[in-house]
Amino acid sequence: MKSIAIIGAGMAGARACISLRANGYAGAITLLGEEDLLPYDRPPLSKASITQEGEPQPVWLLDETIARELKVDVRKGVAAIAISQGEKAVALSNGSSVTYDKLLIATGARPRTLSIAGGEHALTLRTHDDAIELRKRFAVGSSIIIIGGGFIGLELASSAAKRGCHVTVVEAQPRILMRGVPEAIARIVHARHEQAGVAVLTGVGLSHLTKAAVHLEDGRVLAADTIIAGIGAAPETTLAAMAGLAIDNGIACDQHMRTSSPDIYAAGDCASFIHVRLGNRRMRLEAWRSAQDQATTAAENMLGLARQHSSVPWFWSDQYELSLQIAGVPEMGPVTVARKPNEQTIILFHLASDGALMGASGIGPGNAIARDIKLAEMMIAKGLKPLVDVLADPGQQLKSLLKG
């Protein structure tokens, strides 16, 4: 194989470069990124990039030295505009093109925008430049309205509150964190935000926006210096669809992260795939580690290793001093067992009807839940049916269940 091209210079694209070299590939690697920056980490954008002292710098995934050592041709500030499967070529926005033997699409996701009158007044967060703009706006005493009570909206609310802003979160659903987070944990997050002075409005819809106000369906008007839409992200599939690739809640991949075209793979937020460990269920994951793991699988398979992607999903979010972590797929486990090591910490284990552990959700200060969530992840990977009494009793070691 002479050349591999990668569209998208985020976590998945960077990890693929590293994995290709680690697996002995010596051919050409071309990494294409729309931003005029080397690949950088995105999780800090809603947190440290806004709250840290001093001018924030990107957390590089590949710096100039590493890119040079890996012999990766990084094309910054250039967009892929078309893929020709027949010619095995990617057309670029600067008029040039890149040929490939294998191609990885790692285009990520784009923030969803508000489809209501005045929706263009709401800012979004995706890039380092976006974070810098929000940082400037999060001045002491500023009124910040965040539309959406999901992870990104709540992380920004936490950051804005730490900066001394007056913060309001508006969520149309009956509670925050409706997607993938059990109500017991969502209640803890909700209470912590209110303790920090954040006003959290749930079950309320939007009428329209103006430049300096959010108009609610119930007639209330919320004045705002800055309005932010934190209503999730949509997989960036435009390029793949134009190329004729199958789309199914993202670029549709098999268990090898291979698309409907045999020489094209996808990884990260843009891709959906068949998870062989979780009932051959098709899923799309918007998570930092999932992007890493999928890119590793894709890289190995582009080199002919025939690996199945079977990593257990894992996700985290920081809310003030609290760490929220989720392993597996909690909604696949209708039976819930609670474990409460102390008043500030709770872990919920989600079991299938046959007793198999399918997911674990937890929240607690600092690293309080990290070890138990990791052990749960290991149990899910082994397909174990742990003893409910042990799961529920914080006096018993979860490690003992791994022998099952």
* Each residue's pLDDT tens digit, 73-130: 999 999 999 999 999 999 999 999 999 999 999 999 999 999 999 999 999 999 999 9
Does 130 share its domain with 143? yes
Does 202 share its domain with 166? yes
Q: Is residue 65 part of a domain?
A: yes
Does 13 share its domain with 98? yes
| CA 124 to each of CA 8, 53, 100: distance values in angstroms, whole numbers, following the listed order | 19, 22, 34
**Number of domains the chain contains:** 3
Neighbours of 36 (CB within 10 A): 9
Does 67 share its domain with 135? no
Q: Is residue 313 part of a domain?
A: no
Helices (H), 196-279: 238-242
Q: Residue 160, CB half-sphere, CA atoms under 13 Å: how many?
A: 30
Q: Is residue 93 part of a domain?
A: yes
The pLDDT of residue 55:
87
288-314: b (≥16 Cβ within 10 Å) or e: bebbbbbbbbbbbbbbeeeeebebbbb
Which of 211, 229, 247 corresponds to the end of one domain? 229
Residue with tokens 């500023």: 142
What span, in angstroms and rounded, lies between the C-alpha atoms of 291 and 260?
Answer: 20
The pLDDT of residue 404:
54
Does 119 share its domain with 103? no
Does 208 share its domain with 247? no
Q: Residue 12, CB half-sphere, CA atoms under 13 Å: how many?
A: 28
Q: Is residue 316 part of a domain?
A: no
The pLDDT of residue 53:
87
The pLDDT of residue 72:
98
Does 143 share its domain with 220? yes
What span, in angstroms and rounded, lies between the C-alpha atoms of 119 and 147?
Answer: 11
Q: Is residue 326 part of a domain?
A: yes
Does 331 share its domain with 394? yes
Question: Which domain covers residue 151, as residue numbers?
Answer: 113-229
Query: What are the two backbone dihedrals, phi and then psi, of residue 225, each rounded to the nearest 5 degrees?
Result: -80, -35
Which of 249, 270, 302 corresponds to the end of one domain? 302
Q: Is residue 95 part of a domain?
A: yes
Closest CA to 379 of 351, 397, 357: 357
The edge-to-edge listing of strands for the beta sheet with 357-365 is 314-319, 322-328, 357-365, 345-351, 335-342
Does 97 share its domain with 239? yes
The CATH number linked to 389 is 3.30.390.30
Does 20 share its domain with 97? yes
Q: Which residues pair with 332 in a beta bridge?
A: none
> Are the beta carbons of 154 and 189 closer than 8 angstroms?
yes
What span, in angstroms and rounded, lies between the C-alpha atoms of 302 and 24?
Answer: 12
The secondary structure element, H or E, covering residue 200 is strand 199-202
The CATH number linked to 292 is 3.50.50.60
The secondary structure element, H or E, covering residue 300 is helix 288-302
Does 297 share its domain with 391? no
Q: Is residue 363 part of a domain?
A: yes
Q: Is residue 362 part of a domain?
A: yes
Does 173 share its domain with 238? no
The predicted model scores a pTM of: 0.95
Q: What is the dihedral of CA 37, 39, 41, 47, to 10 degrees?
A: 10
The edge-to-edge listing of strands for the beta sheet with 102-105 is 72-75, 28-32, 3-7, 102-105, 264-266
pLDDT < 70: residue spans in the chain: 404
Which of 207, 229, 251 corresponds to the end of one domain? 229
Tokens in use for 267?
A: 């990884």
What span, in angstroms and rounded, lies between the C-alpha atoms of 282 and 303?
Answer: 24
